[in-house]
Amino acid sequence: MHQRKQLTILTHIVCIFFCLVILAPLAWIMLNSLKTNKEMFMDSLAFPEIPQFGNYVRAWNLGLYRYFGNSVLVSAISLAGILTLSSLLAYGLTRFQAKYANVIFFIVLGGMALSEQVALVPLFKILKFFRIYDTYGAVILPYIAFRIPFTVFLMRAYFLSIPKELEEAAVVDGYNSFQIFTKIIVPISSPVIASCAIVNLNFVWNEFLFANVFLNNKALQTIPIGLMTFKGDLKVDYTTTLAGLVIASLPLICLYVTMSRQFVRGLTSGAVKG
């Protein structure tokens, strides 16, 4: 009993340490985003004499609003495509007795082994050929394609844990396959859908490589690319740049805080079932 208590205390200490390691840079960014450049360079760990909330207004007005809007648009369409296609594919693989269902599943999983760097040149030529280079579709389509394998992997494991008796009862009530999927499977699967939404949004919102190569038009650029040029435009105005970083991170933080319980439930269910 005493040994178990010591182990619990040690576990808590380790968790607190890792939390501090993660939160310390965030706290530093938020602290210095409220300073003048002079205050930051004199002592970056001190509290600001007068909080400079104007840094956030200046960052927003200097173009962050455009990059933010582009990221919202690209993320919303990408996320809708990823979740819709992945859920339909995962449901089909788990419920329809297709002859090569397992083969299809392993082919889909093979997409997880394909790195973005390897596919960059072929994707560039494909986008050029179809004349969608330097459009929103140039990043939305690759985002959907590259996130489907992992999302199918999580959803398939969760769908396998759902009792088939629920669907059999729905068939007796006259439901077809699509109605079963939309009215029974999707509501029951809200934890794994929330998990997939957060994980994929984190990828799409922060993705840099594809956005940097496939979007040259500044009016179409998303937040990661916008912040890179943002810093160049501002030259030495580092505190305003830090304010832009804080604004860019707020959507993901708010989403995780509001959906954290379902996020954990979805990941653990997908990890241990199926």
Domains of the chain, residue spans: 67-272
pLDDT at residue 125, rounded to an integer: 92
Topology adopted by domain 67-272: MetI-like fold (1.10.3720)
Sequence-ordered alpha helix ranges (H) in 113-222:
116-129, 137-160, 164-172, 177-180, 186-188, 190-206, 209-214
- Whether the per-residue pLDDT at 272 is higher than 60: the answer is no
Mean pLDDT of the chain: 84
* Residue 169 vs residue 140, higher pLDDT: 140
Task: For residues 1-24, give the mean pLDDT.
Answer: 84
User: How far, in Å, CA of 250 to CA of 242, rounded?
Assistant: 13
Task: Kindly report, residue by residue over 70-108, the tens digit of the pLDDT.
Answer: 999 999 999 999 999 999 999 888 888 777 778 888 888
How many CA atoms within 13 Å lie on the side-chain side of 173?
12
Give the whole-angstrom CA distance, residue 181 versus residue 186. Answer: 6
Percent of the chain having pLDDT more than 70? 91
Q: Is the pLDDT at 21 greater than 80, yes or no?
A: yes
Q: Give the lowest-confidence range in 103-112, 204-213, 241-250, 257-266.
A: 257-266
pLDDT, tens digit, 9 for 90 and up, residues 232-256: 544 657 888 888 889 988 888 888 7
What is the rounded CA–CA span in Å between residue 25 and residue 10?
24
